[in-house]
């Protein structure tokens, strides 16, 4: 409320809402809203949001993985909300939230959420439409804005990952061949053709992305039904990626087959191709869908075995396990690098965005915050350092240098350099008091570093545990695990940066920090001071090296032997650091 008494709301200008009451014509045989119809509504709402921001026509490029938590019955109301999370040059990410409303019981519940990517169409003169940036208004929008860059990385590598899985993934069928009642995958094949008519097209005469997705869901449902001989329920959809446009008059050839059946779920692969009366087929879209069959109590039923074809799609393994489930360390697999890296960085960004941190102590502008949620304790330490952000990022992103300033890092070995942004390390730390004297701990860590995508974004160095078959636990070390840790580095001024360290404490880390939380120790303070000194020394050394190089350039009369002596001296000094 302003001083003049007017109520002001920071509403996202790209937000679009749609409400639909579910009629019998929208439902399936169980009087539940068909997923295909829901996808059409979601695509329409997201498209309107994208076009509101772009000010020009947009088309659907992709729809990320969707998990349907609940079904919607006839007579209930579907509420869909979409808004642009982040705009890149000619594409943008739109976040979609779907909830259900029971008008008679006055209840609301979440159905699903999704992220869609839309691209702008060129103008009539063929010129690209460059999008204006999104300015986040709330903390939630700031988080979505930041993590959108990571999701974009996943989308750009999605096709390569699927291609690698298809070529490298082994087909496990030995057990299924021995089952007498196994259903041949061939029997679940579905092939259907749809003619694209004007009602199936949008205002740009292109086939609705939502309509294509609805047709794909239809053939996938038929394939799943042929395996289980029952009415399946769609639970998740893998990413839809539109590889080309379709127009009115196209024939859409849709194929589906059950790839694999597990105890309570099955995966169906779907492919959509478009063709005209003449010319070759054009690949429009592919997706993987997971179905369940529910009993009268809503519990998943056991499914029949399936006997796969000689060549069958391999189920993509995506790390989407909740943090409280299973071991903290996830298996490292080069084929899943992009997903592991994405989860690593996004987990740190989500932790940094929490708004219920409590200031526990402050000394010489080094601040210690804590956050307690259920059985998890999170720690945040931050301070400003007289070092530019890009330099601090360069010094801290090499984990092997941490042994020079952090007493908790006794050894650090680079196991594998995955690429320019992801690295695998083995770290040895001192013994934990609760696990016996002299027994050191070791960690296998994935370090993912990211530069800012735009001004206002921090530099990120994210750490989490992974497991490697080549580095199994040994009797000489207690194998520790890190759930989420790392640094964010934000430019404060031209020469200073705000450095923040986070750690979502696991049982292995908790003994190190419990006394700090109670105020009985100052190791956090001393460690952070040591980090600051390390950064400043390296900055001064870098400044000295740059000045030395400039002097060499401006003083050609100096002898080569003198220049060589100074170069060796500078090298020795930097090596000590």
Q: Which residue has the tokens 């014509």?
A: 25
Q: What is the CATH number of domain 330-539?
A: 3.30.530.20
The superfamily in CATH containing domain 184-327 is Hotdog Thioesterase (3.10.129.10)
CA dist., res. 506 & res. 429, Å (int) = 15
Q: What is the CA radius of gyration of the chain?
A: 28
- Do strands 251-261 and 306-307 pair parallel, antiparallel, or not at all (unpaired)? unpaired
pLDDT at 90: 85
The answer to whether the CB of 386 falls within 8 A of the CB of 540 is no
- CA-CA distances (angstroms) from residue 331 to 339, 462, 464? 12, 17, 11
DSSP state of 90: S
- CA-CA distances (angstroms) from residue 328 to 88, 278, 482? 34, 55, 7
Q: What is the CATH number of domain 13-166?
A: 3.10.129.10
pLDDT at 95: 96
Domain span(s) for CATH 3.10.129.10 in the chain = 13-166, 184-327
Q: Does residue 361 sit in helix, strand or coil?
A: strand
Read off the tokens for 568. 């060796």
pLDDT tens, the chain, 577 aa long: 444 444 444 578 999 999 999 999 999 888 999 999 999 999 999 999 999 999 988 889 889 989 999 999 999 999 999 999 999 888 999 999 999 999 888 899 999 999 999 998 877 777 888 899 998 888 888 889 988 888 888 787 776 666 665 555 444 444 444 456 788 888 999 999 999 999 998 877 889 899 999 999 999 999 999 999 899 999 999 888 888 788 899 999 999 999 888 889 999 999 999 998 777 888 888 889 999 999 888 889 999 988 866 543 333 322 222 333 345 677 887 766 777 888 888 889 888 888 888 888 888 888 888 887 766 778 899 999 999 999 999 999 999 999 999 888 999 999 999 988 999 999 998 876 544 556 788 999 999 999 987 777 899 999 999 989 899 999 889 888 888 899 999 998 778 999 999 988 755 455 555 444 444 345 677 888 899 999 998 888 776 665 656 665 555 444 444 444 344 333 333 332 2
Domain span(s) for CATH 3.30.530.20 in the chain = 330-539
pLDDT at 318: 27
Residues in contact with 57: Cβ distance below 8 Å, sequence separation at least 6, in sequence order: 51, 120, 121, 203, 204
pLDDT at 548: 58
CA dist., res. 417 & res. 241, Å (int) = 30
CA dist., res. 422 & res. 461, Å (int) = 10
CA dist., res. 447 & res. 463, Å (int) = 5
Q: Which residue has the tokens 């695990």?
A: 481
């Amino acid at each position: 409320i302003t001083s003049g008494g007017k109520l002001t709301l920071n509403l996202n200008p790209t937000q679009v809402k749609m409400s639909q009451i579910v009629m019998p014509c929208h439902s399936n045989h169980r009087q539940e809203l068909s997923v295909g119809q829901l996808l059409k509504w979601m695509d329409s709402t997201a498209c309107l949001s994208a076009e509101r921001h772009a000010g020009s026509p947009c088309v659907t490029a992709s729809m990320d993985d969707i998990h349907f938590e609940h079904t919607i019955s006839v007579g209930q109301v579907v509420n869909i909300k979409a808004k642009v999370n982040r705009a890149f040059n000619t594409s943008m990410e739109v976040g979609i939230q779907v909830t259900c409303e029971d008008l008679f019981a006055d209840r609301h519940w979440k159905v699903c959420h999704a992220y869609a990517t839309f691209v702008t169409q060129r103008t009539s003169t063929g010129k690209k439409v460059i999008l204006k940036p999104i300015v986040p208004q709330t903390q939630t929008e700031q988080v979505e804005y930041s993590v959108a860059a990571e999701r974009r990385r996943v989308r750009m590598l999605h096709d390569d990952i699927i291609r690698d899985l298809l070529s490298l993934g082994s087909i496990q069928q030995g057990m299924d061949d021995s089952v007498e009642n196994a259903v041949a995958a061939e029997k679940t094949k579905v092939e259907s053709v749809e003619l694209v008519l004007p009602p199936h097209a949008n205002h740009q005469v292109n086939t609705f992305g939502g309509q294509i997705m609805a047709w794909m869901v239809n053939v996938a449902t038929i394939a799943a039904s042929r395996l289980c001989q029952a009415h399946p329920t769609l639970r998740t959809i893998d990413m839809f990626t539109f590889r080309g446009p379709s127009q009115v008059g196209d024939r859409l050839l849709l194929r589906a087959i059950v790839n694999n059946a597990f105890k309570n779920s099955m995966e169906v692969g779907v492919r959509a191709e478009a063709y005209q009366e003449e010319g070759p087929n054009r690949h429009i879209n592919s997706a993987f869908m997971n179905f369940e069959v529910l009993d009268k109590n809503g519990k998943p039923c056991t499914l029949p075995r399936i006997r796969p074809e000689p060549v069958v799609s391999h189920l993509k393994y995506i790390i989407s396990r909740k943090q409280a489930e299973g071991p903290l360390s996830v298996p490292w697999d080069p084929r899943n690098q992009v997903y592991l890296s994405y989860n690593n960085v996004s987990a740190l960004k989500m932790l940094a965005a929490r708004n219920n941190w409590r200031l526990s102590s402050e000394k010489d502008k080094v601040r210690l915050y804590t956050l307690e949620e259920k059985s998890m304790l999170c720690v945040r330490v931050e301070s400003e350092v007289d070092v530019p952000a890009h330099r601090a990022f360069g010094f801290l992103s090499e984990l092997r240098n941490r042994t020079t300033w952090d007493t908790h890092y006794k050894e650090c070995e680079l196991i594998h350099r995955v690429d320019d942004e992801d690295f695998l390390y083995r770290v040895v730390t001192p013994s934990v008091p609760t696990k016996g004297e002299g027994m050191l701990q070791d960690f296998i860590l994935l370090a993912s570093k990211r530069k800012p995508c735009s001004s206002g974004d921090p530099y990120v160095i994210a750490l989490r545990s992974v497991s490697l078959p080549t580095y199994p636990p040994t009797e000489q070390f207690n194998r520790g695990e890190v759930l989420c840790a790392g640094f964010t580095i934000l430019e404060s001024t031209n020469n200073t940066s705000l450095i923040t360290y986070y750690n979502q404490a696991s049982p292995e880390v908790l003994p190190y920090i419990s006394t700090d939380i109670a105020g009985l120790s100052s190791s956090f303070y001393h460690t952070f001071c040591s980090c600051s000194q390390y950064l400043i020394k390296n900055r001064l050394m870098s400044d000295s090296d740059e000045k030395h190089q400039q002097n060499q350039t401006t003083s050609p009369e100096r002898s080569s032997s003198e220049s060589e002596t100074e170069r060796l001296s500078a090298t020795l000094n930097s090596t000590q650091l």
